[in-house]
Amino acid sequence: MMRRTKQAKSETHARIVAAAARRFRAKGIGGVGIAELMSEAGLTHGGFYAHFGNKDALVAEACAGGMAQSRDGLIRHVRKAPAEQRLARFIALYLSAAHRDHPETGCAMPTLGSEVARAAPEVRAAFTEAFVDYCGELATLFPGVPVAGALDEAAPDAAADEAMVLLAGLAGSMLLARAVDDPALSERILHASKAFYRAAFAGSGTTRSPGDEQPR
């Protein structure tokens, strides 16, 4: 298995990024070495530098990839529901036990956020872009009018502001639900947050949708 075709190379590249996006979310950026990633992709470590200038370049791609993957999964799933229920479903899915228990396929914000804050400029740039995209996607789930007195006045782009606040709140709740070692407390964080954000953002269309569902 020496030289590969052009197409095979880009497939390999994608395979490395996918492995990295999964492993980084599961064990942290600093907790995963290049040899481990390459081996998961079925290669040896030396070949890494045919695809990436250094580890940071991969981290940047993997961050963006991880954000986009979990975002698309959630948004796509939620779009199956009637418009007025979508936001409530998104919240329930994000704060589900299934999401908490599978960080490796879940949102990258609670898993990688604090490491990204200390990471190389290119990593932060990639993360920022993915976050902005996520806010844009999420904003489309909001009803046209500003909700529940959440913002100062009718500022421009109020839906994007609300999406940011919601996303940050969900990420924080997931961060803590995972950090805490008491399962009952973890459940309590998830439930209380779910009730709160539904009431604050998903208005009325909330009462009947079920608690937890499987994301992706």
Alpha helices in 80-120 (DSSP H): 86-94, 97-101, 108-117
Nearest to 192 by CA among 215, 208, 172: 172
The stretch near a copy of itself (CB under 8 A) out of 9-17, 70-78, 138-146, 174-182 is: 174-182
Alpha helices in 28-157 (DSSP H): 34-40, 55-79, 86-94, 97-101, 108-117, 121-139
Minimum CB separation from a copy of itself for residue 34, in Å?
Answer: 16
- The torsion region of residue 42 among left (phi > 0), alpha (psi -120 to 50) and beta comes to left
The verdict on 118 binding DNA (CB under 7 A) reads no
Q: What single DSSP character describes residue 156? A: T
Which partner from the list a copy of itself, DNA, none does 50 bind, CB cut-off 5 to 8 Å by kind? DNA
The verdict on 6 binding a copy of itself (CB under 8 A) reads no
Decide: 125 and 61 in contact? Cβ < 8 Å.
no
The verdict on 169 binding a copy of itself (CB under 8 A) reads yes
The verdict on 210 binding a copy of itself (CB under 8 A) reads no
List interacting residues with a copy of itself (CB under 8 A): 27-28, 30-31, 103, 109-118, 121, 124-125, 127-128, 131-132, 149-152, 161-162, 164-165, 167-173, 175-176, 178-182, 185, 188-189, 192-193, 195-196, 199-200
